[in-house]
Structure 1
Amino acid sequence: MTSAREIIFVTGNANKLKEVKMILAPSENEPSPSFTIVNEALDLEELQDIDLEAIALAKCKQAVQILGPGRPVFVEDTALRFDEFNGLPGAYIKWFVKSMGLAKIVQMLQPFENKGAEAVTTIVYADGKGQYHTFQGITRGTIVDSRGPTTFGWDSIFQPIEGKGQTYAEMEKKDKNLISQRGRAFAQLKDFLYNSSDNQ
């Protein structure tokens, strides 16, 4: 039996790796995939842009350069876009969280009635043949005062419309994965990997 090929996920975040492995695992009636997910914590420069696909593609191309050709690799980039701010902070949300903290991010929207937001995850996958594939998941929601554990980015201030009144942080992981932008983007990647990449 040939060993499963490795697909590299560029992340140094153990929580993210765990969540992604959970989403890409076969469900009850699915055969085991012909790949395993491993991670590499590469230090990639982030393109300063509001085009989420351009940012993720630039990161994936850097990863391919570092790892060398022929090694399947994917990067994931998640953004949080506020309706009131015409899509900002977008991809810069992680720096906002780091610099300001969650409470101040919520306060930014205080003067405005519109607290609507969308969470977007963009994945770019480079197969072993040098082709790039893009997948994107979007979840609509509102920005609320922090509720639930604050261990996973901005999850405690984002209340998805489909979340039955809970923030991401308050939801069970499996329930969150069904409706989250990351879950949706990775469901597309999973479908692609299971159905069209056996020989890549």
Structure 2
Amino acid sequence: MSVKDIVFVTGNANKLKEVKMILSSESSKFNLINEPLDLEEIQDIDLESIAMAKCKQAANILGPNTPVFVEDTALVFDEFNGLPGAYIKWFVKSMGLAKIVKMLDSFENKSAKAITTIAFADGKGGFHIFQGITEGKIVDSRGPTTFGWDSIFEPNEASGKTYAEMEKVDKNEISQRGRAFAKLKGFLATEFN
């Protein structure tokens, strides 16, 4: 059986590196190609709607027979009823990590959820959603600040470490991205068998 090309649409080099690491065991079944397409992101709080809209755009650009996926990650604060959610990237860019942490100063509840939503177009006309969630809390920044908000999110399962303080392999085991991609891997294993 020939190896199938699958396109991952992202312009984020760190995210691409992490996804390649997560999907590495399936790499013999398909060839992961990166396309940094500039896709329009709809403004919504529904994470599945955002990912699906981007995936449909990508499928239109790349052609109907091209398997392609997009990934969208959100950070939701329990006290803010799901915000900043999908807007976290813009909060980080405009406010910085310290001010994001400060937003929760007057609240006792610092609980948060990291959510990754993957929308996959299978190249046969079907669209599929895979989602991973990791619960944790917002803390003062600890560890390298080179990957989004990793240094302010402490997962409940991380023995007191932020994502940024964890080894990548350990992070991928419990992260929302690792969980979402585990579901995609399972799907691809049957799809490309």
TM-score tier after normalising by the smaller chain length: over 0.9
Where do 5+ consecutive residues of structure 2 fail to align? Answer: none
Tell me how far 1:24 sits from its aligned partner. 0.8
- Which residue number corresponds to residue 178 of structure 1? 173
Q: Which residue of 1 aligns with 2:192?
A: 198
Letter in 2 for 1:16: K
Cα distance in 1 for residues equivalent to 2:140 and 2:179: 25
- 1:192 partner letter: F
Pairing 1:78–2:106 present: no
Q: 1:133 to 1:165 in 2, by over 3 A?
A: same
- The one of 55, 63, 66 equivalent to 1:60 is 55
Secondary structure, counterpart of 1:153 in structure 2: coil
Distance 1:101 1:82 in 2: 16
Q: Is the 8 A contact 1:78 1:122 kept in 2?
A: yes
Equivalent residue pairs, number: 193
Q: Deviations over 1:48-100 (max 9, x none)?
A: 00000000000000001111110000000000000000010000000000000
Q: Who is 1:134 aligned against?
A: 129
Task: Note the 1:76-155 alignment, pairs <5 A.
Answer: 76-155=71-150
In structure 2, the CA distance between the partners of 1:14 and 1:108, relative to structure 1 (3 Å rule), is same
Which secondary structure state, in structure 1, belongs to the residue aligned with residue 144 of structure 2?
coil
Amino acid at match of 2:9: V
Distance 1:143 1:37 in 2: 33
Q: CA deviation at 1:32?
A: 5.7
Percent identity, aligned pairs only, is 75
Distance 1:13 1:94 in 2: 12
User: Which residue in 1 is equivalent to 2:161?
Assistant: 166
AA of the residue aligned to 1:14: A
Cross-structure match for 2:13: 14
Give the Cα–Cα distance (whole angstroms) in 2 for the partners of residues 34 and 113 of structure 1: 48
The structural deviation recorded for 1:33 is: 3.2
The whole-number CA distance in structure 1 between the counterparts of 2:162 and 2:15 is 18
Q: Following TM superposition, by how much is the alpha carbon of 1:116 offset from its aligned partner in structure 2, in angstroms?
A: 0.3
SS in 2 for 1:178: helix
Contact 1:33 1:194 in 2 (8 A): no
What pairs with 1:3-42 in structure 2 (closer than 5 Å)?
A: 4-26=3-25, 33-42=28-37
**Counterpart code for 1:13:** N
Quick check: 1:48 aligned with 2:43? yes
1:114 alignment partner, SS class: coil
Contact 1:142 1:160 in 2 (8 A): yes
TM (norm. structure 2) is 0.97
